[in-house]
């Protein structure tokens, strides 16, 4: 029997949390509900969810702080939920490491579709026997492996949410090729994503905080166009 994927629902409104749980249970997910931010980290170890649905407005520790603390120890996918619809809230959530952002009220089918889309992107790949199947690019002091979702930088493993890693891998797989923000949004987030091109800027910013410019390569901004992984001769 195939084990069901686990979704941790974090919302102080138990009626909404129960409704979300019902939607997801119908789609064969296993769910757990917690009603405050302080309960999230202990639950990560006991429940071991595959994805977190995280409400922004929580009593005590809010969703931003929870996201920050989860990201300090795990790359588990996070979808933020909020009645707030300001661009600032979305960008801040993404900067802190959320993988997607949905505004309340939301359509149940869209919620389930986004959960499945994020899990598809994140899904850890099985062991690969054929070397040709391994998606891996290597540069001096940098190894990006999209097969097992790992990045080794300066000899150390770097934790990254899936979309950060996919963006880095995509750029590094085509060195010195300039991509527009629209192309990157389409390639990494796909047609299912309803965000805007600032999402790309946010993820590039987060990558630059983790992966600094190297003597041989760097993440370069091409003003007015987009980005490229520049390899120096």
CATH number at residue 167: 1.10.10.10
Last residue of a domain, one of 80, 95, 122: 122
The pLDDT confidence band at residue 128, using thresholds 50, 70 and 90, is very low
> Does residue 143 share a domain with residue 109?
no
Last residue of a domain, one of 122, 149, 164: 122
205-219 pLDDT, tens digit each? 999 999 999 999 999
> Does residue 116 share a domain with residue 87?
yes
Is 104 a member of any domain?
A: yes
> Given this model, what pLDDT does residue 126 score?
39
Q: Is the peptide bond before 159 cis (omega within 30 degrees of 0)?
A: no
Radius of gyration of the chain measured on its C-alpha atoms: 18
> Does residue 188 share a domain with residue 106?
no
- How many distinct structural domains can be found in the chain? 2
> Does residue 213 share a domain with residue 162?
yes
Is 18 a member of any domain?
A: yes
Domain span at 35? 6-122
CATH assignment at residue 23? 3.40.50.2300
Contact 173/187 with Cβ under 8 angstroms?
Answer: no
Last residue of a domain, one of 90, 122, 154: 122
The answer, yes or no, to whether residue 188 has pLDDT greater than 70, is: yes
> Does residue 86 share a domain with residue 137?
no
* Mean per-residue pLDDT of the chain: 85
The pLDDT confidence band at residue 1, using thresholds 50, 70 and 90, is very low
Average pLDDT (85-105) is 76
> Does residue 156 share a domain with residue 73?
no
CA distance 7 to 52: 6
The pLDDT confidence band at residue 84, using thresholds 50, 70 and 90, is low
- Which among 23, 38, 29 is positioned nearest to 8, based on CA atoms? 29
The pLDDT confidence band at residue 199, using thresholds 50, 70 and 90, is confident
Is 1 a member of any domain?
A: no
Average pLDDT (3-25) is 92
The better pLDDT of the pair 218, 3 is held by 218
> Does residue 203 share a domain with residue 163?
yes
The answer, yes or no, to whether residue 140 has pLDDT greater than 70, is: yes
């Amino acid at each position: 029997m195939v084990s069901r994927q686990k979704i941790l629902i974090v919302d102080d409104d138990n009626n909404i949390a129960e409704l979300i749980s019902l939607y997801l249970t119908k789609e064969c997910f296993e769910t757990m509900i917690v009603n405050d931010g302080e309960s999230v980290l202990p639950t990560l170890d006991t429940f071991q969810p595959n994805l977190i649905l995280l409400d922004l407005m929580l009593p005590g520790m809010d969703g931003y702080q929870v996201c920050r603390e989860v990201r300090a120890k795990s790359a588990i996918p996070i979808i933020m939920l909020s009645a707030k619809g300001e661009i600032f809230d979305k960008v801040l959530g993404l900067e802190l490491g959320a993988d997607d952002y949905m505004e309340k009220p939301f359509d149940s089918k869209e919620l389930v579709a986004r959960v499945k889309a994020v899990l598809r992107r994140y899904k850890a790949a099985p062991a690969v026997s054929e070397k040709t199947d391994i998606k891996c690019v290597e540069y001096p002091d940098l190894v990006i492996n999209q097969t097992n979702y790992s990045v080794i930088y300066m000899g150390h493993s770097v934790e990254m949410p899936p979309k950060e890693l996919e963006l880095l891998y995509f750029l590094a797989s085509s060195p010195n090729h300039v991509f527009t923000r629209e192309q990157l949004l389409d390639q990494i987030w796909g047609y299912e994503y309803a965000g805007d091109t600032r999402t790309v800027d946010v993820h590039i910013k987060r990558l630059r905080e983790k992966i600094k410019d190297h003597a041989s390569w760097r993440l370069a901004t091409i003003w007015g166009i987009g980005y490229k992984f520049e390899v120096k001769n």
